[in-house]
Structures are given as C-alpha cells and as structure tokens.
C-alpha cells in the first residue's frame, strides 16, 4: 500500500498537471494520477503529440492549455509532475512565462543536461522516425534545448533512475543511467532536492516508491519530508 505523508497544505484545493514523456501517452501516468487524486489533488493528466513537433511548440501549446483547464480555476496552487521530455517542456515554458499559482515540480528521469544517446543516434533516420523533431533536440551539445535553459527558478525535485534494461543505449552514457539519461544529467542548477531510485526509465512513473516520493515532495518540498527516505533510495 502506498502511504501519503502529512503536509502543511491548507484546506484549499491544489492542482497537479501530469506530463508524460517522449513517445508515450497520458495513460502511462494513470497510476500516478490515481494516487494523487486519492491524496486530494485535482489532477489534470495531459496528453500531447510528443513525436510531431519541436520542444518549443509542444511546451507553449501543451502547458498553456493545461493551465487554463477550468478544473484548476479554484486551486490555490498548481504543481507539475513530469516524466522525461515533460520536464523540459516545463522548464522552457517557465523560462518564458510567470504564473501566480505555480507550486512545486517533480521531474522523473528528465534529460536536464541532455542525453549522450541523442548525440550518438540523433541523426539516424530511424531515430528521427521514432522520436520526431523533439527527440533530436535533447542532446548534450550547444544545440540542445535543455542545455541552454539555465537555472530553474521554481521549487524542483528530481528523481533519477539508475537501472537500465537497454544495454545498447547505456554503452553511450557515462556513469549510472536508466537506459536513456545518466543520473548526473538529470540534475540542474536551482533544484531543491534530488534522489536516485533503482528503476529503469520507462517505469519511473509507475513505481510505487517513486509515486510515494513524488507525493511527499509535493506536500513538503523535500523527498525526506518528515520521515527518513526509504532505504530503496540513495541521495543523488
């Protein structure tokens, strides 16, 4: 059973916008959505065409639409929980816009400093076919969108994975990785907290303990919260 930490939230409703990753659908965030709804949040689980457009267009269209959802109108704060590419959409959007209700953000496996996999495979026709224009913008070089975004200015917690089931991708990545991005490259200047879970990239958002840590950060602004971090985790 997933436990929910006690928080200092007022009785006012708080919202959470969920953003899936590249080549995924909003159904991949369903388990996270169900738990956050049971924890009392107003949850908007967003689907977007991750393979069809560049990051800038995805960010602007997806997040502005989600923030204007009438279900969030009465919410005192609006948080974000993102997987992979979803975190880069949030960073880019709030580099360009302010929002008076923005709360906390939890990113799961975000390529905050890009991925060496894109450096090696991004120009291959099959990679472009599968991942679309946004996928090719996630490398580690000067042309990378996340590399050029700079410091985050919101309350951010990052959960990285260090288990890979894609050994070919892992050959291109330095250090511990989740099969898509290294632990080190999930980090970004300005983040408040960072933990590492022994989970592979595609399953971070479905993992029971990752969901528990996510809920804890949304409530307390820390993965440690009022209780010790479960031994399943190691600090980043």
- Phi/psi for 80 (5° steps) reads -130, 140
Question: Is the CB of residue 220 less than 8 Å from the CB of residue 226?
Answer: yes
Q: Is residue 114 in some structural domain?
A: yes
Question: Is the CB of residue 93 less than 8 Å from the CB of residue 19?
Answer: no
Q: What is the pLDDT of residue 123?
A: 81
Residue 54 pLDDT exceeds 60: yes
- Residue 221 structure tokens: 């602004």
Tens-digit pLDDT profile for residues 68-114? 999 999 999 999 999 999 999 999 999 999 999 999 999 999 999 99
Q: What is the pLDDT of residue 100?
A: 92
Q: Is residue 93 in some structural domain?
A: yes
Q: Is residue 233 in some structural domain?
A: no
State the average pLDDT over residues 212-226: 91
Q: Is residue 7 in some structural domain?
A: no
- Phi/psi for 14 (5° steps) reads -125, 145
Q: Is residue 83 in some structural domain?
A: yes
Q: How many CA atoms lie less than 13 Å away from 231 in the CB half-sphere?
A: 0
- Structural domain total, the chain: 1
Q: What is the pLDDT of residue 231?
A: 44
Rg (CA), the chain: 17
Q: What is the pLDDT of residue 226?
A: 59
State the average pLDDT over residues 194-215: 96
Residue 192, domain extent? 14-222
Residue 2 pLDDT exceeds 80: no
At residue 55's C-alpha, the angle toward residues 188 and 90, to 5°, is: 45
State the average pLDDT over residues 162-176: 93
Q: Is residue 97 in some structural domain?
A: yes
Residue 214 pLDDT exceeds 60: yes
Q: What is the mean pLDDT of the chain?
A: 90
Q: What is the pLDDT of residue 222?
A: 95
State the average pLDDT over residues 176-200: 97
Q: What is the pLDDT of residue 230?
A: 44
Structure confidence at residue 159 as a pLDDT band (50, 70, 90):
very high
Question: Is the CB of residue 114 less than 8 Å from the CB of residue 49?
Answer: no
More confident residue, 67 or 227: 67
**pTM as predicted:** 0.89
Question: Is the CB of residue 153 less than 8 Å from the CB of residue 144?
Answer: no
Q: Is residue 151 in some structural domain?
A: yes
Q: What is the pLDDT of residue 142?
A: 85
The CATH number that applies at residue 43 is 3.40.50.1820
Q: Is residue 211 in some structural domain?
A: yes
């Amino acid at each position: 059973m997933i436990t929910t930490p006690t928080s200092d939230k007022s009785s006012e409703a708080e919202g959470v916008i969920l953003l899936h990753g590249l080549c995924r659908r909003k159904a991949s965030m369903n388990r996270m959505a169900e738990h956050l709804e049971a924890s009392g949040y107003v949850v908007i689980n967003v689907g977007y065409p991750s393979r069809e457009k560049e990051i800038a267009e995805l960010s602007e269209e997806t997040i502005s639409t989600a923030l204007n959802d009438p279900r969030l109108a009465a919410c005192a704060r609006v948080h974000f929980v993102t997987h992979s590419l979803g975190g880069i959409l949030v960073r880019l959007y709030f580099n360009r816009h302010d929002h008076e209700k923005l709360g906390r953000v939890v990113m799961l496996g975000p390529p905050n400093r890009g991925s060496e996999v894109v450096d090696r495979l991004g120009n291959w026709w099959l990679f472009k076919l599968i991942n679309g224009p946004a996928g090719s913008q996630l490398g580690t070089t000067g042309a990378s969108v996340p590399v050029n975004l700079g410091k985050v200015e919101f309350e951010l917690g990052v959960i990285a994975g260090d288990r890979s089931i894609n050994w070919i991708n892992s050959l291109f990545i330095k250090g511990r990785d989740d099969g898509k991005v290294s632990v080190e490259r999930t980090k970004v200047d300005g983040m408040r907290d960072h933990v590492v879970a022994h989970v592979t990239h595609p399953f971070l958002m479905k993992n029971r303990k990752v969901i528990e840590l996510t809920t804890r950060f949304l409530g307390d602004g820390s993965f440690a919260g009022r209780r010790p971090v479960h031994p399943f985790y190691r600090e980043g």
